[in-house]
Structure 1
Amino acid sequence: MLDPISLAAITGVLGAVGSGMANEAGRWAWESTGGLVRRIAGREVAAPTNAEQMTAVARLVHERVHSDPQLAHAWTLFAQGVPMPGAGPRAERPCLPASVRFFTDRQEALKRLDKEAARPFDGSPRVALLHGPEGMGTSTLAVHWGWRQVDRFPDGQLYADLRGPGASDIGAVLSSLLRQLGLPDEEIPPATEDRADRFRRYAAGRRLLLVLDHAQSAAQIRPLLTSAPGVFTVVVTRRPFTGVDALPVQVGPLAKRDAVHLLTHLVGKPAMSAAKAALPAVLDRCGGSPYALRAAAPRLATPSAEVPPVPDSDPGPHSGPRHHGGPGPHSDPVRAAAEDSYRLLAPDAARVYRLTGLYDWPAFDAAAAARAADIERTEAARLLEELAEALLLERTGDGRYRYRPAVRAHAEAAAAATDGIAACSAAVSRTVEWYLHLAVGAAQAALPESWRAPSGTSPVSYADRGEAVSALATEARNLVQAVYAAEEFGHRDTVVRLCQALWPLLLKAGQHDVLLPALRVGARTADTHIPGTRAAGALHAQLAHTLTELRRWDEAEPEARAAARDERVAGHVRGHASAVEFLGLLRLRQWRWQEAYDCFEEAYGILDGIGPADEGARDLPRARALLERHRGRALRGLGRRDEARERLERALRFFRESGEAYNTARTLTDLAETHLDGGEFAAALPLVDEAIAALAREKAAYQLAHLRTLRERCLNSGAPQG
């Protein structure tokens, strides 16, 4: 068993606490760690933000606890309550997306994958790089091979789609992989490097297949690779890239014989015989692409269907099924297949196809498509299914759709040629407006009491807070794209209101890594066009909050200061106090206790500027109680325990009297930990028990787990007092 005061054990505890700040219990533990480190060091120690700084703090603690038995005992008691990341959760076995019914050829590629997966482990990671043009079936090959090898990977098959906007965010991809391994959102570390470390820990000792689909570069996949002996990684990309040592497996066009074999499977021998005359031209146009062959199959299967000849130019105006120009026989077969399917669409379906594809929405539903085409939602739902049947859209499995990149490029070109710039701009603007209505309606339903929610009315409503937050979470990536589109179109007010509407999502569901790019756009827009306004202050505050949660504290500080500046200039006293308070909370994370206390003192004084009839007056007692609690936390970090208890007891009286169970429990926890800092276990125990009772009806699993750990410390302490 590892000595709890060894350098390795201390480093492990600090790392575990640092990576566990995704939930409030984790943030409590981080503050407690900082206070204990200050007590052990005898001075203020800056919170570490990287591995090198973490090691330096661990060495400092190691040196001090070995020279003072009381400090060693205090550290040991604390460390015993820190859950260490181990082998990870054992959830339901993750699996790949569904494979196709008919799979043809690729025997050589399958053999190469078999060989790499079975290669004796020599310390180097098992990685294969499947590469081939879009529509050549590289993704299908990876998934098909994976399903054939289920027994080889008893711990599961992980899948990450690296295509589309936001997919290059490695932190978001790692979050997805950790969720597939069974880790709940509340335990996913906020920092990308901690997520990567947690993923490698959980992969170690497991037999897993990892499929990284639609990879764009070596830099994108490098943090996702592991040398764990039981993990085999299959990277799928259009073209090979350097920078990653991997077995290259090229996937080219199907041979004519195999193409015919696939078509025969898809349509049957009678249909193939009936289409014998047209078959050579179809095969030539499909260019050995499995996607193009599948798209052509319905036309071959229906004797009355039109089998398009080979066009010779790009799509022109479309007014219904007819022949006109398109890609030639040596062009991209995916785009050629899209053109062939498009020319057979009815005008209403063709219009939805063109206008919905004008912007790179990650995955859209019938409501968004209806706004793009300016039609009823039920009609849009019907037409989207028609487009999916024609393979012009992909179903995502949750009632939503997306385009292949080459197919969307075709749709966009067709829209430009057919509908014109004005109609295309109007379609994108209508879609952005839909996402704005959705976001504003959801934000107001999720936080109806918050002055941070965007003002104005929305035609979209939600039954309750949970449904509203869920809607925002589902559409998070589309909302980021809507912010980009609004900025591109110069719709500054839309940018501001969309970003303001993200606040409940940041507060309730995180997704900070996904939303960070949109928040940066919002802050940039505010600085350029509306500096010194309440809206500007709110946008900087949101960005500061997200950067803090991502442990990018040096970036968060100037944003918090900008929020305070804008709120002060705007004369918004409540917002100014809130921004200064937030800077104090940032200082708590940084273990800069005196500066945190000074911020809370300043915020308390700012609140004195709110008169009885002013905005925020009704919220004043609660705002002051929260600041009392924060001041108590800062004083605890400074080791001024008597003053800390006084502040915390004042806050506790307010929360008890107002019936706020959650804040009552939080303050009781702060008080209990303040007693524990002084070794006053008997005084801490009833506070812990009261906090547990206060949270009994709340959905606060992590806070309850933290409190139970504190309770065990009280019962099993046996420590010397002082």
Structure 2
Amino acid sequence: MLDPTSTTAVMGLLGTVTMSMATEAGKRAWESIGVLARRVAGREMPAPAGAEARGELAALLADGARRNPEHARALATLFRTAPGQVSGEIAIPRQLPTTVRFFTDRQEPLKRLTREAARKADGLPRVALVYGQSGIGTSAVAVHWGSVNGHRFPDGQLYLDLRSGSGAGILDGPAVIRRFLRKLGVTDVPPAADDCADLYRSIVADRRLLVVLDHARSAAQIRPLLTSAPGVFTLVVARRPLSGLDAVPVPVGPLARKDALALLGRLTGTRRPSADEAVLQDVLSRCGGSPFALRSAATFLADPSHHPRQDGPDATGDRPARHQEPALRDDGNPVRAAADDLYRALPADAARLYRLMALWPWPAIGPAQAAAAGGITEAEAGPLLADLAACGLLETADSGRHHYRPLVRQHAEEAAARQDGPAGCSAAVARVVSWALRFAVRADRTVLPQRWQLGPRYTQPEPGPYANAGVALAAIDAELPTIVAAALAADEYGDPDSVWQLCEALWGVQLKAGRHEEVLPALRAGVRAAQALETESATGAAAPGGESGSAVGGSPLAARVVSRMHTQLALALQELGPDRYAEAETALRSAAEASQRAGHLLGRATALETLGLLRLRQWRHQEAYDLFDEADGLLVAIPDGGEGAADVPRARALLERHRGRALRGLGDRDAAAARLERALRYFRDTGEDYNTARALTDLAETRLEAGHPAEALPLFEEAAGLLAGEHADFHLIRLRELREGLAADPE
């Protein structure tokens, strides 16, 4: 066991907990350290910011442990129950996609990659940049090389398509690192970007690992992921050289004629495609050495009657008639030309869906989103998606969802503008937004049925198909990228009403699944939308209605929406680490002011409550208690039968729990336990398992700090059982660690 009287050991504990602050485990441990710091110092201690302040606190705590056995015992308990960065054995990820079946030539790029991988370690990062125009096969080169050379990397292969963000942008370096850390077995991912980068480099320092970053856009996106670890080979794939990235250049150009012919032969199952020389030359010229274009051409060479440039009616009569549309303007790009050929060979219903799904960069397209875009049923959308994937117009991920190549989506967008017009395009995006809103509200209503809402969709009696809150949480978590993308699409298309309602429906997945970073772009859009609606309300302008049926602009609801959006944004910001606290506080003060303008006591109380939670995080326990008291006074002022009166008992129970936490920080354990027990009784009586578990955990930690671990253990056990039923894994991590530590050494 680590020595609680060692300043170095305590400094290590503080560093570990600080890096875990994005998780419930880290937040709980941080709160417990704050409680102990106050007891040792005999006064309120501000939460340390930075390594120097943590060093001073470590010295104080270690000295306190040397002078007082009770403090030593409390610190030893924190050592046992503090969150770890990695759970169990470090994982060995195998994330490379399947390489293409008929990989042809590319000997020179493959040799360059092998030379860099085999280079003698000299302290310089092993980095290669594979680049070339879209459709030329750069991703295939990287994946094929990684598949053939897997034996060089026994500790795994990490792969990420950097386009797989949240629907209107790309993943940045810190977001990629966080994903990779989870794949490497890290449960408590640090909130700060610098801490993430430090942890990533520490974990991979002595590993032999391949890292493939596909579709990179800039050196800045890649730089945080670079490491000088001798066994790590980072392979970057881009469309062009990236200025500022020091990497071995591996250009990938068009296939030579002989290699293009070889690929066509393999794809058509013959040594040489069965076409006359004039036709073959036309195909080779049109494809320009692009493997993507050659693969599409092989389809038409195998069955010329399906080629869109084949004149005359379909003699067989056994396939749907193709839609009639002029050819795309020839700009000499083989990928766009191939996409146009494939598109014009489609039946009309598949062609229409191909166009309408491309109008926003949805991160993943499944039958539900496709059906909404096309205004058809999921049963109709499924086969059409399969056909589009089979002909190569869509790529299919391991999840079974689909996405476009960038140039193919660009072609589809242009076709939609030409065929469907502005109104048809806007309507298609609006249908997907409306589907996402309906889905999110139905799921969120089941995840947190007791909380109060503003969105008109919540008033519609339409229960979701979920057996319990855990199933609903898993469903909304799985669709989270699409829901965030829908909020950004609604923002872009001028539908603020849908933006804020989508954001409100993300509250449950924030609280229970901890998806704060993922939802942040949508929440910022939600604040913009709410502010625009309040401005319209003040000027008397009509609000754009969307499909939600709401009329926010011109009503007192607008200021309430501003308050809710600022509160929800602040919740995410304060969960992302101390460097976001100032912005979170500003947002919460804006939320309180907006609720005051609207005369909405419940909203103002919620904003003050959330600010109090921020003060707990900062170890400013008296300020936190005062804010919770102020919020309770607002709730008491709501008259019986008045607006929000039905929500008051639950809101006051939550404040009882929070006041118990503040009193625990102030060192008044008996008063803290009394508050927590009152909150616990309410949540037990109302059958609210999630908050029952949270109150049980607070009470257990109070018992633990009082030196009664045997009393704490059954409370932790009961809380864990309740949270498991809720699928609240975000909170369960901390409970598992506490239970394991106490079970191993209960006294």
Which residue identity lines up with residue 663 of structure 2 in the other structure?
Answer: L
Closer, same or farther: CA 301–688 of 1 in aligned 2, 3 Å: same
Q: How far 1:171 moved relative to its partner?
A: 4.1
Residues 665 and 692, structure 1, Cα contact 8 Å, conserved in 2: no
Closer, same or farther: CA 640–356 of 1 in aligned 2, 3 Å: same
Which deviates more, 468-477 or 646-655?
A: 646-655
Secondary structure of 1:234's match? strand
Secondary structure of 1:210's match? strand
Match of 1:687 in 2: 712
Match of 2:604 in 1: 576
Which whole-Å deviations, capped at 9, do the CAs of 1:64-83 have from their partners, x for residues lacking one? 63487226735455334324
Residues 484 and 521, structure 1, Cα contact 8 Å, conserved in 2: yes
Alignment of 1:232-631 (within 5 A): 232-269=233-270, 272-306=273-307, 308=309, 320=322, 324-328=326-330, 331-452=332-453, 454-456=455-457, 457=460, 461-464=464-467, 465-530=469-534, 533-551=559-577, 552-631=580-659
Q: How far 1:138 moved relative to its partner?
A: 0.7
Match of 1:211 in 2: 212
How far apart, CA to CA, are the structure 1 residues paired with 2:247 and 2:719?
A: 55
Residues 48 and 57, structure 2, Cα contact 8 Å, conserved in 1: no
Match of 1:174 in 2: 177
Which whole-Å deviations, capped at 9, do the CAs of 1:225-263 have from their partners, x for residues lacking one? 222222111011111113232111111111111111111
Q: How far 1:29 moved relative to its partner?
A: 0.7
Closer, same or farther: CA 106–584 of 1 in aligned 2, 3 Å: same
How far apart, CA to CA, are the structure 1 residues paired with 2:513 and 2:648?
A: 27
Which residue identity lines up with residue 492 of structure 2 in the other structure?
Answer: E
Closer, same or farther: CA 15–421 of 1 in aligned 2, 3 Å: same
How far apart, CA to CA, are the structure 2 residues paired with 1:270 and 1:707?
A: 66
Which deviates more, 660-669 or 570-579?
A: 660-669
Which deviates more, 221-230 or 71-80?
A: 71-80
Secondary structure of 1:391's match? coil
Which residue identity lines up with residue 523 of structure 2 in the other structure?
Answer: L
How far apart, CA to CA, are the structure 2 residues paired with 1:594 and 1:275?
A: 86
How far apart, CA to CA, are the structure 2 residues paired with 1:233 and 1:687?
A: 47
Which residue identity lines up with residue 14 of structure 2 in the other structure?
Answer: L
Which residue identity lines up with residue 173 of structure 1 in the other structure?
Answer: V
Q: How far 1:270 moved relative to its partner?
A: 6.8
Tell me, yes or no, if structure 1 residue 198 matches structure 2 residue 199: yes
Secondary structure of 2:130's match? strand
How far apart, CA to CA, are the structure 2 residues paired with 1:602 and 1:322?
A: 68
Match of 2:53 in 1: 56
Secondary structure of 1:610's match? coil
Residues 128 and 249, structure 2, Cα contact 8 Å, conserved in 1: yes
Which deviates more, 207-216 or 484-493?
A: 484-493
Which residue identity lines up with residue 605 of structure 1 in the other structure?
Answer: G
Which deviates more, 58-67 or 24-33?
A: 58-67
Which residue identity lines up with residue 177 of structure 1 in the other structure?
Answer: F
Aligned residues: 698
Closer, same or farther: CA 331–667 of 1 in aligned 2, 3 Å: same
Which deviates more, 564-573 or 120-129?
A: 564-573
Secondary structure of 1:122's match? coil
How far apart, CA to CA, are the structure 2 residues paired with 1:269 and 1:206?
A: 44
Match of 1:315 in 2: none
How far apart, CA to CA, are the structure 2 residues paired with 1:78 and 1:459?
A: 46
How far apart, CA to CA, are the structure 2 residues paired with 1:711 and 1:41?
A: 26
5+ residue gaps, structure 1, are 310-318, 717-722
Which whole-Å deviations, capped at 9, do the CAs of 1:402-438 have from their partners, x for residues lacking one? 1111011111111222222222222222222222222
Alignment of 1:150-161 (within 5 A): 150-161=150-161
Secondary structure of 2:128's match? strand
Match of 2:316 in 1: none
Alignment of 1:27-42 (within 5 A): 27-42=27-42
Secondary structure of 1:468's match? helix
Residues 129 and 249, structure 2, Cα contact 8 Å, conserved in 1: yes
Which whole-Å deviations, capped at 9, do the CAs of 1:557-604 have from their partners, x for residues lacking one? 121222222233333322322221111011111112121111111112
Residues 671 and 684, structure 1, Cα contact 8 Å, conserved in 2: no
Residues 290 and 335, structure 2, Cα contact 8 Å, conserved in 1: yes
Q: How far 1:633 moved relative to its partner?
A: 1.6
Q: How far 1:140 moved relative to its partner?
A: 0.7
How far apart, CA to CA, are the structure 1 residues paired with 2:347 and 2:285?
A: 26
Closer, same or farther: CA 651–446 of 1 in aligned 2, 3 Å: closer
Residues 629 and 667, structure 1, Cα contact 8 Å, conserved in 2: yes
Q: How far 1:500 moved relative to its partner?
A: 1.4
Match of 2:553 in 1: none
Secondary structure of 1:229's match? coil
Tell me, yes or no, if structure 1 residue 24 matches structure 2 residue 14: no
Match of 1:312 in 2: none
Alignment of 1:93-242 (within 5 A): 93-163=93-163, 165-184=168-187, 187-242=188-243
Which deviates more, 524-533 or 109-118?
A: 524-533
Q: How far 1:202 moved relative to its partner?
A: 2.7
Which deviates more, 141-150 or 24-33?
A: 24-33
How far apart, CA to CA, are the structure 1 residues paired with 2:607 and 2:210?
A: 46
How far apart, CA to CA, are the structure 2 residues paired with 1:701 and 1:480?
A: 25
How far apart, CA to CA, are the structure 2 residues paired with 1:478 and 1:427?
A: 15
Closer, same or farther: CA 446–64 of 1 in aligned 2, 3 Å: closer
How far apart, CA to CA, are the structure 1 residues paired with 2:619 and 2:347?
A: 64
Match of 2:318 in 1: none
Q: How far 1:286 moved relative to its partner?
A: 0.9
How far apart, CA to CA, are the structure 2 residues paired with 1:413 and 1:398?
A: 28
Which deviates more, 206-215 or 78-87?
A: 78-87
Q: How far 1:58 moved relative to its partner?
A: 1.8
Secondary structure of 2:637's match? coil
Closer, same or farther: CA 367–658 of 1 in aligned 2, 3 Å: closer
Which residue identity lines up with residue 463 of structure 1 in the other structure?
Answer: Y
Which residue identity lines up with residue 328 of structure 2 in the other structure?
Answer: G
Residues 544 and 559, structure 1, Cα contact 8 Å, conserved in 2: yes
How far apart, CA to CA, are the structure 2 residues paired with 1:599 and 1:88?
A: 40
Secondary structure of 1:264's match? helix
How far apart, CA to CA, are the structure 1 residues paired with 2:673 and 2:87?
A: 39
Which whole-Å deviations, capped at 9, do the CAs of 1:290-323 have from their partners, x for residues lacking one? 11111111001114333749xxxxxxxxx94568
Q: How far 1:116 moved relative to its partner?
A: 1.1
Closer, same or farther: CA 694–180 of 1 in aligned 2, 3 Å: closer
Residues 128 and 233, structure 1, Cα contact 8 Å, conserved in 2: yes
Match of 1:719 in 2: none
Tell me, yes or no, if structure 1 residue 704 matches structure 2 residue 723: no
Closer, same or farther: CA 63–612 of 1 in aligned 2, 3 Å: closer
Match of 2:551 in 1: none
Which whole-Å deviations, capped at 9, do the CAs of 1:680-720 have from their partners, x for residues lacking one? 42x4532333442454454164343243266369744xxxx
How far apart, CA to CA, are the structure 2 residues paired with 1:356 and 1:657?
A: 48
Which residue identity lines up with residue 711 of structure 1 in the other structure?
Answer: L
Closer, same or farther: CA 294–666 of 1 in aligned 2, 3 Å: same
Residues 700 and 715, structure 2, Cα contact 8 Å, conserved in 1: no
Residues 275 and 300, structure 1, Cα contact 8 Å, conserved in 2: no
Identity of aligned residues (%): 51
5+ residue gaps, structure 2, are 311-320, 536-557, 725-730
